């Protein structure tokens, strides 16, 4: 297991290098430049600007200079946010998005797993039909609709929570619930499917035949197999929560990574784009590693190495 984890971690720099190379290539072949929005600028001044920021270099030269900066821990200055470096921008935004994303993922698991398990254990009951109907609504509704509904009722109708912002727990509740709702719905459906797949396995029948209490059968035997579809979903879910939080962050005025994720691409801010890519790619690789390791512990048929 330890060897497997070390090998995966050693592959991380190469994976990031390939991703950054492809991203740089796509940025350089796209029409326009980071300074195309400037109006009526003298060509000589434009040349000086491009020389200052290094955009007059070839793609490989610029990429090489950028990698040299990364080796020093410097992600470079932002092309569009004057006076701020990418380290500063991401350093202040990343903790915000991680806090919101991890809380949303926790809420999704807290709601989705019990709902799915109860639905699977009580198949074709009112609970099963009701919870899966709610899950279908949660999957179908976009985040901005759920967020707007919560704002209307919890802010304007009942006046129990602030409309947005950041810094206190009451400002975090609505965006976390909004962001977690679709994922809780998917997790509930996956948990239900996992229970229905495992509940008829031979080892569950054997446990029942031995006369073991139902609670012991569920906790010691059924949960371990039924939770596997949910575990497999956690890595893409975590990545989707972090990268898909732009709408929620915009709706609730949260200063997170979502703003930089979209604005850097729209503004052709090369260094900020690559900084965001580094963060999200690293998180995605690490989330997948954690899920693979957890899967190996839960399913004895999976061998990850020693």
Q: According to the model, what pLDDT value does residue 48 have?
A: 78
| Residue 184 lies inside a defined structural domain of this protein | yes
| Residue 174 lies inside a defined structural domain of this protein | yes
Q: According to the model, what pLDDT value does residue 19 have?
A: 93
Q: According to the model, what pLDDT value does residue 105 have?
A: 93
Whole-model pTM? 0.84
CA distance 107 to 177: 7
Provide the residue range defining the domain that includes 202: 95-258+292-298
| Residue 263 lies inside a defined structural domain of this protein | no
Q: According to the model, what pLDDT value does residue 174 have?
A: 93
The domain total for the chain is: 1
Cα three-residue angle 104-105-111, rounded to 5 degrees: 90
| Residue 198 lies inside a defined structural domain of this protein | yes
* CATH, residue 229: 1.10.3720.10
| Residue 164 lies inside a defined structural domain of this protein | yes
| Residue 42 lies inside a defined structural domain of this protein | no
Q: According to the model, what pLDDT value does residue 143 have?
A: 86
How many C-beta neighbours within 10 Å does residue 153 have?
12
Q: According to the model, what pLDDT value does residue 243 have?
A: 67
Q: According to the model, what pLDDT value does residue 41 have?
A: 66
| Residue 64 lies inside a defined structural domain of this protein | no
Q: Among residues 210, 213, 223, 209, which one has the least CA distance to residue 121?
A: 223
Q: Among residues 249, 236, 247, 239, which one has the least CA distance to residue 96?
A: 249
| Residue 157 lies inside a defined structural domain of this protein | yes
Which parts of the chain sit beneath pLDDT 70?
32-33, 36-42, 45-46, 49, 243-244, 300-306
């Amino acid at each position: 297991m330890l060897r497997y984890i070390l090998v995966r971690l050693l592959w991380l720099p190469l994976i990031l290098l390939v991703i950054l190379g492809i991203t740089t290539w796509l940025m350089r072949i796209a029409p326009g430049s980071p300074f195309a929005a400037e109006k009526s600028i003298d060509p000589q001044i434009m040349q000086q600007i491009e020389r200052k920021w290094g955009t007059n270099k070839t793609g490989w030269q610029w990429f090489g200079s950028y990698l040299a900066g990364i080796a020093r821990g410097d992600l470079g200055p932002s092309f569009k946010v004057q006076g701020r470096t990418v380290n500063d921008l991401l350093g202040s935004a990343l903790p915000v998005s991680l806090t919101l994303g991890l809380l949303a993922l926790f809420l999704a698991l807290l709601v989705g797993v019990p709902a799915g398990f109860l639905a699977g254990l009580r198949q074709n009951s009112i609970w099963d039909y009701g919870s899966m109907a709610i899950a279908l609504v949660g999957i179908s509704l976009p985040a901005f609709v759920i967020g707007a509904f919560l704002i209307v009722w919890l802010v304007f109708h009942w006046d129990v929570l602030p409309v947005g912002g950041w810094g206190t727990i009451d400002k975090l509740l609505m965006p976390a619930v909004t962001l977690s709702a679709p994922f809780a719905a998917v997790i509930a459906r996956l948990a239900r499917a996992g229970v229905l797949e495992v509940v008829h396995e031979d080892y569950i029948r054997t446990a029942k035949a031995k006369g073991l209490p139902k609670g012991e059968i569920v906790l010691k035997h059924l949960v371990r197999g039924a939770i596997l579809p949910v575990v497999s979903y956690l890595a893409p879910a975590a990545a989707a929560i972090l990268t898909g939080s732009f709408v929620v962050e915009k709706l609730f005025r949260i200063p997170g990574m979502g703003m930089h994720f979209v604005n850097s691409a729209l503004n052709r801010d090369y260094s900020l784009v690559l900084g965001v890519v580094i963060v999200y790619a690293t998180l995605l690789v690490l989330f997948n590693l954690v899920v693979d390791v957890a899967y190996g512990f839960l399913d004895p048929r999976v061998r990850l190495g020693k």
